[in-house]
Amino acid sequence: MEYKDYYKIMGVSRDASADDIKKAYRKLARKYHPDVSTEANAEHHFKEVNEAYEVLKDPEKRATYDQLGTRWRAGDDFRPPPGWDFGDGNFDFRSRGGNAGFGGAGGFDFSDFFESLFGGAGGGSRWRTGGAGGAHSFRTAGEDQHSKIYISLEEAYQGTTRAIQLEVSDGGFAPSSTRTLNVKIPAGVTEGKRIRLTGQGAPGSNGGINGDLYLEVSIKPHSLYRVENKDIHIELPITPWEAALGATVNVPTLAGTVGLKIPAGAQSGSKLRLKGRGLQGHPAGDQYVQLKIVTPPAETSHARELYQKMAEELAWFKPRADLAG
């Protein structure tokens, strides 16, 4: 039995990433798909490409295949190493989504090489072939699709439902189309969170199942707040006397205004925490308030007199004493 070099079939290196393998597969699947291809032996190449992809897209299958590769030399027939048992039922590599290999009733099988490695584990495959008079009609699963959805910080806090329009393509086998979807955004969602919409990706062909749609949440910048995971940060201006004497001031939060106690002797840059006032969750995030002392301008004669009196009364205060050489 001849060894099959799946990396060579896919045209990728042995250290290729999952994304590289997927890109190579999509390119070759379009090139050799029997319904559209004009290449010689397109069906044979299409079958080989899908068999290779079935293995290389799955980390467990790929690891098993790579173990064999370290024991195989070019020109050798495939002979399992001593103690290598592929048929004992320890491997159950049924298709878990995405474009898969071949198998199942009424379809053609994986190659003998694949069967020897994985015990005919193609039963969960999304690929089928059949048809009257021996003509083949391939049922292919739709590709998963990825997009971003932009929401406000208030929407992230409260949750919302958004209507989105999405242009969907099946990877080149059918014309694209535009659909409107109502998407529920859960309360407390964070930046980068992915929302999966099962079956809302690219449509399959010839009755194949649809792919999934993954929406990555992006929270738009806010005029007051800065977001870090579930925590909210805000800069709070305070007066010199509020900082010196202490005070209770109103602070905006996503749930409404709350009173915050400023301790006497507070300094610019100091941070105070409002527990549980960040994005919702279990636990909820916090809101951090960074103090910023703002000095009023001396625009009137009375204001200048007050500052002059302060300078005289507090002449002992030397904030730059530590800078003296």
Show me where the domains of the chain are located. Answer: 6-134, 145-219, 225-313
Find the mean pLDDT for residues 230-244. 96
More confident residue, 245 or 82: 245
More confident residue, 4 or 312: 312
Give the class (CATH, top level) of 225-313: mainly beta
pTM greater than 0.85 (yes/no): no
110-137 pLDDT, tens digit per residue, is 676 776 666 544 433 334 444 444 444 5
Q: Is 289 helix (H, G, I), strand (E, B) or coil?
A: strand
Angle at alpha carbon of residue 116, lines to 113 and 120, rounded to 5°: 100
* 16 vs 21: CA distance, rounded Å: 7
| CATH 1.10.1060.10, applies to 145-219 | no
67-76 pLDDT, tens digit per residue, is 766 555 444 5
pLDDT of 79 above 70: no
* 176 vs 252: CA distance, rounded Å: 46
Q: Is 78 helix (H, G, I), strand (E, B) or coil?
A: coil
More confident residue, 8 or 142: 8
Q: Give the pLDDT band of residue 78 (cuts 50, 70, 90).
A: low
Rounded percentage of the chain residues whose pLDDT exceeds 90: 45
The identity of residue 18, as a single letter, is A
Mean pLDDT in the chain? 79
pLDDT of 156 above 70: yes
More confident residue, 51 or 176: 51
Q: State the residue for tokens 């305070």.
A: 238
| CATH 3.40.50.800, applies to 6-134 | no
21-68 pLDDT, tens digit per residue, is 999 998 898 888 877 778 888 888 888 888 888 889 888 888 878 876
6-134 shares its CATH topology with 145-219: no
* 16 vs 7: CA distance, rounded Å: 9
CA distances from 130 to 112, 127, 180, 269 (A): 20, 11, 34, 72
In sequence order, what are the beta bridge partners of 293?
238
